Amino acid sequence: MELKKSYLAVAIAAATLVGCGSDSSDSNDNDSNNNETGTYSFLSCETESQCVITGTIDEDFTMSSDVQYVLDGLVKVGYGNIAFTSDSDVTTAKNNGVTLTIEPGTDVRGADDGVLIVTRGSKLMAEGTAEAPITFSSLSDEDFDGLGEWGGVILQGLATQYGAGNTGACYGDGSICNVQGEGGDGVGFYGGNEDGDNSGVLKYVRIAEAGKVAGPNNEVNGLTLMGVGHGTTIDYIQVHNNLDDGIEWFGGTVNVTHAVLTGNDDDDIDFDTGYKGNIQYALVVKNADLTAPSGSNDPRGIEANSSDDEYVPQTEGALANITLVGAAVTEGQYGMRLRGSLTTRIYNTAVVNWESCIRVDDSDTDGDDTVDSYSNVTLVNIVGDCAPDGMYTKRDADVATNVVEADIDLDAAAALTSANGELTEAPAMTAVDNGSGFAFDATSYVGAVAPGTAAADAWWAGWVIEGSLDNVANQDDPATTFAAE
Amino acid sequence: MKPTRVMLTAASTLLVSQVMAGEAVFYITEDGMSMRDVAVSVDGQKQLIGNTGFVSFDIDAGNHSVELSKYGEWLGEFQFSTENGEQNAEIQVDVLGGEALEDVVVYTPGQEEAPALGQISGYLNSEETGGAVAGASVSIAGTDMAVVTDEEGFFSFELPRGEYEVAIAHPNYGQREVDGVRVMGNVNTGVNLTLGMSGNGVIEEVVAVGSYIPSTATAQERDSSAVLDAIGSEQMARFGDSSAASALKRVAGVSVAGGQFAIIRGMAGRYISSTLNGSLMPSTDPMRRDVPLDLFPASVLGGIDIQKSFTPDLPGDSTGGAIRMSTKGMPEFTGGKASVKLGMNSRTTFSDVNSYEGGSTDWMGVDDGTREEPSFANSFTDGGYDVPTFITGAERVELTQSFDHNYGVQQVEAKPARGFSVSYGKLMEGDESTHGMYSAFSYSDKWTARHNAEINDTSEEGTYERTKRNIDLAGYFYYGIEDANNLWQSKTILLRKTDNTTKTSNTRDEGKDQELNQTLLQWVERQYLGQQFSGTHYFGDDTLEWRAGIAQTSRYEPDRRTYTYGRALGTSNDFAFQGTVERRYSDLTENTYDIGADYTSEYLFDTWAWKNKFGFSYTTKNREVELARYANRAVTSSSVDTTASLDEIFSDTNVDNGTVTFTGTTTATDSYDADEEVVAVHGSSELDMDSVSVLAGLRYESITQELDYPNKADSQNTLEESYVLPALSANWRVTEDSQLRASITQTVSRPGITERSESVQYDPDTDKPLTGNADLEISKINNLDLRGEYYFSEEESVTVALFYKDVDKPIERQVLDADGSAAEGYTYDNVNSAELKGLEADFRLNVLDTDRLSGFVSGNFAWVDSEVDLTGTNAERLEGASSRALQGQSEFLGNLQLGLDDYESGQSLTLLVNYFDERIYATSRGDLGPVMEDGRTTFDLVYSYDFSDDLKIKAKASNITDEPVTYSRDGRTLESYYVGTDFDASVEYQF
């Protein structure tokens, strides 16, 4: 364990240095592009308007909106992704946590191998505004059309992860937890037993063209939330044209609201391994121009848990006001695939243009071809417009209230224009009690956007990537290419 | 079979063929070594001493004068006298510095109180294989003395002076008699014989190489303290085993995993040490330390010892056993051999199998540069690791253009297996010394394929086809110089093994709702190149052995291509290219420098012998792995039809206009450097007290392991530790034909060099992520061994061994806390403890013995029970079990051989049966049981016909029943395939 200790020692030393030169971060805020590169080992600026970040951001740092920052290789915030062996390692990591602040309107670019990882104990403060959202995209071009042109953003926290195969909380009988994350050799470890952990704020943040990192078949999510606690705020987030999932939660408790997930090649909302949380207002729109996934992907709107022997009965998600819009690329796929003995409640949600709206799977946990453990799915106010297979594949929900198959029409705001979009009253929506005290907004409509909203007034309007939702009104008819087999 | 020395103490009770008249026997040595071509004249009668080293004269009573000369040159003269006609004289003359010093013993046969003792000892070698003949029975006619030759073909007797007839019997080599072997007091008569399988007969010539020994006690006491098994080259030849890997599985308690890696007594890789000619072996496998044994062809191997109990002269990690391979040594005669081999497989040969376009020298097992990493790509992206941050579109096109885009799989007809080998040995016997050289070269080209391969896992089912073309090349050169007290040897070894693999699979993935077609094109060249010098020097009773070697192993895997096409499950759409085609270039080089020496000294007290052995070894290994990955960026242009073939998607047009582009995807931990240094000093002392011998010793080892990632400076890991390992063993020769051995020893098991990585690394074989554990510790093992041997006739024996091992903190490969694709990988951890117990039995029985025919049944059986304690570990939580068997351990292992020899026509037939019981292939997570490699029985039949003295025909049918190879979990077959039956025939010509 010598090396880990030395990491921590470095982190402590770095923190101490920062503490001594207390004006360094302030001066950086003011003119980070102005001859400041010498003070940060991870920063190099060729010009006044472009700086390259490499290695570990080991002291508090602010990205300024008048500079384009290039993530070159795996960029880590803090040293919290090494394996912890004791509670004091956890305390040390928190005490020495690093905060990366990104100013509204900042343009962050990933090189081919660029990835941003915010490790345990550290924070990402990315608070954009509707007028000046923060954008992560690829360095290789100025558009947002590509897929997998850089890595993505990974947040790692100290909240609980439950292992596949019902192996329980990763800390077992103790309190220390080190979960190896996916996404390559530098991802390292995350997890713990602090469900209220805070990894910062992501607000009005757009992540585009990400999803590929080094290594064999290593596709990663636009935004990966690994054991992220509910102290973290994620609101108004877009993941566009990601080669893998839009947002994937591995365990953790962080709630997400106002998500726009467009053109992603794999799933859009993917929660797994004991995620306990709530998601409200999410708009998922698949790329209408593709006929097959570009990556090794199986695109679904919502994918919860993994199949059979990888079941995690602790996974529990409550979702409300979700609109899932498929395309030709989703042939053979489901708007939602709910499996692995999860518990989920889904409210006021529309599913259109998938081969089948919802597939519910129970778990054969020991490979003997018989079901040993069941998923628990509650659906309230679901409108589905899926062909040829209709609402359900495999089996119906355990509890279904007002689940209807009907023609769905969307307008330019991505709101339902058909009569079934409006509800007579807002249903009671039970949030997952993950300690955050989250309560759903009461909504008396189906879908992510209230019917009747003008496109310019929709909650997504103005800050999402330009053009990324332009075509949504034309994607509400089941693709004729989904031939029945 | 362990050298079996049946103690010969009751010499006075033996019947000896006595010489009736007065006789003077002369034995002339020069500096202790038998001297030839000496003319001895007694009372005017003259005789020349020939190869036997002896000459005798009839003498009457009175004074006798002796004159010695060589090639007419006077050597010396002296006189002696006998009192009457009954008296004999034994006269030893040692010519020292040109002066003849005589030692005359006059005695009356039958009237001595304690007849003086001498020795007969020697080595048996095979004419066919050039190697040692182990397991031959050697007996002295007219006595009940018999021994079995050891793995070096050595035998030895201690006998009262006289003339004897030595009888040799071996099931393959038949019977031989050697008449008129002289034993003089204090003289060791050497009887070195080369046996051919060509029939029985009397051997005309005995070459005496023995030396004058100053004492009657055994000077050639063999190391009998260890539990040892050996495979001589004659056994490999008889069983038709083509490499070390196939030969090893014939040994009790040994099985071989994946045709490459030995498992001894249920203990895999990390519990086994391997040496070649005494030097520690480098591996060609980037993820392992143990040596793939299929690399060592029978054509260069002289023999393999598997010593299952630790002695201080072995590497400290010899827990399950030590595999000691030796290459061929001094040739027995001048001559050569050439053989050609042709083979076919019942399923593969002449059937259509997968292949792809390669290079023009593929047939030699050498890539001609077709698969070489494009130099532009390498230099522009630093081996795929560091694509320039501000790469331009034009540079992306240039990078993509630097690759030759060739991905298609073709069907070709599998050709029959072909091979040839030539060897030539030359023995140059001079007056002072003997020089010998031996060289061998072999080539083989063989196609193998898995047939009807099926996958039926919980979420994935389907079929695959895998074809491999194996091209093997071996070259060997030996030069040795031997004189009375010294042996100098040089061994140069080149071994190459090339596998060209094409694998295509079609699977239906329930989890992904997709049907996938996956393709792998892989070319792997493995090579071992070694030069070793060694020497053995005798100083009276003491022996000094030393060695110095340099070896380089390499594994070159250029342009491994993998890609996937898929479509929605249940549709008949065209398959579309999904994800990326990865092109990977990897190159491993490991250099090993090894020096070592052992000094053995012996002190004799009456009937006791005290033997001491000291030695040291120093080994340093440096491994460099360079790996580069490149893959296309996602294909997003709607102008590209992804249902077209890859060759069309990566057409010149699409590449040139930048529609499809490649980028580097090498990870920071793909390339690594690893250094290992082992310094060892050992000493042991053995006291031989008539029927009981006791050995006690210590081994000190100091090891340093260092792992470095050139692209990841903060992940360096170093392990430094030293320890002392004690060993105590005893050997009790209960009766003349039975003995008991017991030992208690301590050994270690070290983490593999990549297992202590601070980072994730990708297993180059499976692409699964391996998460290192920097906290891995060395585990300590206490070993207890008990073995009994009973020889109920000259050739028949039963051996039973019991063992118990207690492993503290064993390192186990296990599933880990991980998510997503990382959860498909594995890690290593020290778990609490493991306990192994086992029983092994070995037997050999002659079931038929006529003048013409002989038949034998031999076999072995092993039962091993192991339990790994996982209580309180991560493994317990993740596997859902608090204990299980050691990975790779089969409960039962067995071998049976039935042999039939027709001496007259020179034909022999051997049926071989090998069985291994199911063993854990990989542990599983959650509710699933571990994945098991299912037990399997294979039957081989080997026929050999000595057509004439120079021509020999051999045929072998292997895997006759063609049982499927299967893997299963909780009784569900996950994977199965057939490999077919091999029929090989070879013709060997000797010149």
HEC string of B170-222 equals: ECCCEEEEEEEEEECCCEEEECCEEECCCCCEEECCCCCCCEECCCCCCCCCC
Q: Using 50, 70 and 90 to split pLDDT, how confident is the model at B207?
A: very low
Q: What spatial distance separates the first Cα and last Cα of chain B, rounded to whole Å?
A: 32
At the topology level of CATH, where does B19-107 sit? Answer: Immunoglobulin-like (2.60.40)
DSSP string, B432-444: SEEEEEEEEEEEE
Decide if A117 is inside a domain: yes
d(Cα A392, Cα A386) in Å, to the nearest integer? 9
What mean pLDDT do residues B65-70 have? 84
- Assess whether the region B19-107 and the region B117-203 belong to the same CATH fold: yes
Mutant choice from A217, A286, A368 vs B, greatest count of B C-beta within 10 A: A217
- Segments forming the whole domain that contains residue A26: 2-474
Question: What digits encode the pLDDT tens for the residues B195-206?
Answer: 765 544 434 334
User: Looking at beta carbons, which residues of chain A come within 8 Å of B717?
Assistant: 3
Q: What spatial distance separates the first Cα and last Cα of chain A, rounded to whole Å?
A: 57
Question: What is the pLDDT at residue B212?
Answer: 36
Residue B793: other Cβ atoms inside 10 A: 12
Q: At what angle do helices A87-95 and A2-20 cross, to 10 degrees?
A: 30
Flag whether pLDDT at A357 surpasses 80. yes
Under a CB-based contact definition with an 8 Å cutoff, are residues B932 and B918 in contact?
yes
Question: What is the pLDDT at residue B608?
Answer: 82
Q: Using 50, 70 and 90 to split pLDDT, how confident is the model at B14?
A: very low
Contact B820 A166 (CB under 8 A): no
ipTM of the modeled complex: 0.88
Mutant choice from A170, A218, A228, A370 vs B, greatest count of B C-beta within 10 A: A218
Q: State the smallest CA–CA distance between residue A418 and chain B in angstroms.
A: 31
d(Cα B605, Cα B217) in Å, to the nearest integer? 8
3-state secondary structure of A455: helix
Token pair for residue B362?
């593929």
Place of tokens 């002269």: B313
**Mean pLDDT value across chain A:** 89
Question: What is the pLDDT at residue B152?
Answer: 76
CB pairs under 8 A, 24+ apart, for B47-54? B51/B205, B51/B206, B51/B207, B51/B208, B52/B180, B52/B182, B52/B205, B52/B206, B52/B207, B52/B208, B53/B27, B53/B28, B53/B29, B53/B189, B53/B208, B53/B210, B54/B25, B54/B26, B54/B27, B54/B182, B54/B184, B54/B208
Question: What is the pLDDT at residue B196?
Answer: 64
Decide if A356 is inside a domain: yes
Q: State the smallest CA–CA distance between residue B566 and chain A in angstroms.
A: 8
Residue of A nearest to B709 (CA): A185
Question: What digits encode the pLDDT tens for the residues B649-698?
Answer: 999 999 999 999 999 999 888 889 999 999 999 999 989 887 888 999 99
Q: Is A370 on the interface with B (CB under 8 A)?
A: no
Decide if A269 is inside a domain: yes
Decide if A485 is inside a domain: no
Mutant choice from B557, B636, B716, B877 vs A, greatest count of A C-beta within 10 A: B636
Decide if A480 is inside a domain: no
At the topology level of CATH, where does B228-334 sit? Answer: Ferric Hydroxamate Uptake Protein; Chain A, domain 1 (2.170.130)
E strand map for B606-660: 608-632
Which of B819, B926, B970 lies at the smallest CB-CB distance from A161? B819
3-state secondary structure of A359: strand
What mean pLDDT do residues B293-297 have? 80
Mutant choice from A180, A286, A306 vs B, greatest count of B C-beta within 10 A: A180
911-930 of B, contacting A, C-beta below 8 A: 924-929
Length of chain B: 991
User: Looking at beta carbons, which residues of chain A come within 8 Å of B636?
Assistant: 145-147, 290, 294
Question: What is the pLDDT at residue B759?
Answer: 73
Q: Pick the residue with more confidence: B756 or B868?
A: B868
Q: State the smallest CA–CA distance between residue B221 and chain A in angstroms.
A: 49
pTM for the whole thing? 0.81
257-296 of A, contacting B, C-beta below 8 A: 265, 272-273, 289-296
List, in order, residues 6 or more apart from B777 with CB less than 8 Å away: B751, B809, B830
Report the number of distinct structural domains present in chain A. 1
Q: Is B814 on the interface with A (CB under 8 A)?
A: no
Under a CB-based contact definition with an 8 Å cutoff, are residues A344 and A302 in contact?
no
Under a CB-based contact definition with an 8 Å cutoff, are residues B745 and B699 in contact?
no
43-82 of A, contacting B, C-beta below 8 A: 52, 70, 72-74
Q: Using 50, 70 and 90 to split pLDDT, how confident is the model at B795?
A: low
Decide if A484 is inside a domain: no
Flag whether pLDDT at B73 surpasses 90. no
**Mean pLDDT value across chain B:** 84
Q: Using 50, 70 and 90 to split pLDDT, how confident is the model at A483?
A: very low
List, in order, residues 6 or more apart from A143 with CB less than 8 Å away: none
At the topology level of CATH, where does B117-203 sit? Answer: Immunoglobulin-like (2.60.40)
d(Cα B908, Cα B955) in Å, to the nearest integer? 11
Domains of chain B, residue spans: 19-107, 117-203, 228-334
Contact A483 B571 (CB under 8 A): yes
Q: Is A333 on the interface with B (CB under 8 A)?
A: yes
Question: What digits encode the pLDDT tens for the residues A410-436?
Answer: 999 999 998 889 999 999 999 999 999
Flag whether pLDDT at B796 surpasses 80. no
Least confident of A379-383, B164-168, B433-437, B979-983: B164-168
Which of A359-363, B154-158, B892-896 is modeled with the greatest confidence?
A: A359-363
List, in order, residues 6 or more apart from A439 with CB less than 8 Å away: A431
